[in-house]
Structure 1
Amino acid sequence: MSLWMILPVSLPALTITGIWVVYAMALYNQHVCPVDNWMYNQSCEEDLSMQRGPTLCCTLDDVPLISKCGTLPPESCFFSLICSTGSFMVMVIVLLRYAHVIEKHQNCVLNTASLSTGWICSAGLIMVGNFQVDNAKVLHYVGAGVAFPTSMLFVCLQCALTYRLAKTQGEYSVGHLRLSMTLLAFVALVLSGVFFVQESFVLQHASAIFEWVFCVIIMLFYGTFAFEFAGISSDTMMVLARGGVLGSTSRDHKMESLSGANSHQSEGTAML
């Protein structure tokens, strides 16, 4: 069992814990309203950051969207760190998954497309984390517009790839798990986007909830790669070092060895 399986498990553990810490910091500093608060006002007599009573007056500017939680310091610094670290881990996981598929099976359009979408998603995530929505709104929304759709596309491609390569009952079970997570993520993303453009306070708050659900599901999806990463070996790294040709070469050697063994067996049978 390879220690590389720790990497996909570490990604959701780090990011999910990190964004909830960011939310807790933003809530403590009264930069956003609690997720369990569904009461909003058109305006307040004083800013949320100036209120210290048990009853808070919340407006649409205080909806606890993930990006909103990481807008103001000090939580913005931690939010940037989490997004940058998470994006780097995503790039490594996507690359290792790409090489592992080539080593164990063969390269295909689904595998190459997954690599591309995964890296594009990482670039969008870096933009989201380092360009806060209140300080660089255009760049932040560009990053979000890149990260969210490509992350959804990535899990769809990986779900299809899992079923295509599955041979054992365990591999099909992993495929079923990923399919369920993909469907839930798709529903959460659609509802988050639809509710986000509405003017209703309740729907805006619901959009934030579904955004959290979507991000958590996507991170947990990456965690399922621990099943494949348990079989990563030095040959997987050689796939990357040789530009993806090791998988084909290894299969050729195996076929040659098998043919040679069959030839020797036939000669031995003929001599008998």
Structure 2
Amino acid sequence: MRSFSPWALLPLGFSIGTATGLWAVYFTALYNNIVVPLGSHSRNESLYPPFISVTGNFPPGSCYFSMVMNLAAFAGLVIGFLRYLQLKNRLSRAWLNVAGLVLFSASCFGMTVVGNFQLFILTRIHDSGTLLTFGMGLLYCWLQAGITLRVNLKGEGKKVGALRFLLSGLITLCLALKYIFIMFSLPRAAQCQWALVMFFLIYVGTFAIDFRHSHFDAVCTDQPEPPEDSGTSMLEQELQRL
């Protein structure tokens, strides 16, 4: 029986760490009387609705928000690349794997834009980052759900794929409800946004299920080309043996 890979901790750390950071930003804004409580449905003209971007718009929460989003973007990019490597020799349609890497990379780039350009200062740039994060991220979720069923890693594809399809549906529903509620109930729209982000973080955390089977290695060599008898790199050999 293959040993549990420590790389499985990376998606879990991403999800738990990012969620903890975002909630810390929210409670900072709540403590400083910037936003109304997330569970409140009443309007308060002196306080803002608790959208994630609003909680991270004012110092000191803006400092924490930028740090959380930048770290999340970096960790997410690593996860996306490792997922690409994991699927490289298993997916017959290579363009699907490349598309997944591009989509998630764009989503991670959007995270840095959201974190570094505050909503009330550079609104258009911030909104473009939001579109990249949620739009590309949602497409990535649906794509990976389908890939999970197709690859069927270790015979777990049906169960894990069903979970990812469920989460993708919930993310889509929350995104749609957010834009519906934003027209007449900003507090409810904010609640949908928080639910959307939490479901997305849970989705990324499910990659721990796949990563626990894989071991990733990096090879450094002074030779311009690998020896002829090596065939493939150590990383590719490891992935092929899974």
CA contact (8 A) 2:150 2:157 kept: no
CA contact (8 A) 2:148 2:157 kept: yes
Q: Secondary structure at the match of 1:39?
A: coil
- Check 1:13–1:250 CA distance in 2 against 1; reply closer, same or farther (3 A cut): closer
Match of 1:66 in 2: 52
Match of 2:160 in 1: 174
Q: Which amino acid aligns with 1:75?
A: G
Q: Secondary structure at the match of 1:86?
A: helix
Q: TM-score, normalised by structure 1?
A: 0.77
Structure 2 distance, partners of 1:234, 1:134, is 42
Match of 2:214 in 1: 232
Matched, 1:28 2:28: no
1:194-216 residue CA offsets vs partner (Å, 9 max, x unmatched): 222x1x2xx21111001000000
CA contact (8 A) 1:103 1:246 kept: no
Greater Cα radius of gyration, structure 1 or 2: 1
Match of 1:186 in 2: 172
Q: Secondary structure at the match of 1:83?
A: helix
- Which structure 1 residue ranges, 5 or more long, are not aligned? 49-57, 255-272
Superposed, 1:105-116 pairs within 5 Å as: 105=91, 108-116=94-102
Q: Secondary structure at the match of 1:64?
A: coil
Number of residue pairs aligned between Structure 1 and Structure 2: 226
1:146-205 residue CA offsets vs partner (Å, 9 max, x unmatched): 111001001011001001111655221111111111111110011112222x1x2xx211
Which residue, out of 204, 216, 224, partners 1:222?
Answer: 204
Which residue, out of 121, 133, 137, partners 2:123?
Answer: 137
Q: Which amino acid aligns with 2:146?
A: A
Which residue, out of 194, 205, 218, partners 1:212?
Answer: 194
Taking only the aligned residue pairs, the percentage that are identical comes to 30
Match of 1:259 in 2: none
Deviation at 1:233, TM superposition (A): 2.1
Deviation at 1:12, TM superposition (A): 0.7
CA contact (8 A) 1:101 1:107 kept: no
Deviation at 1:108, TM superposition (A): 1.8
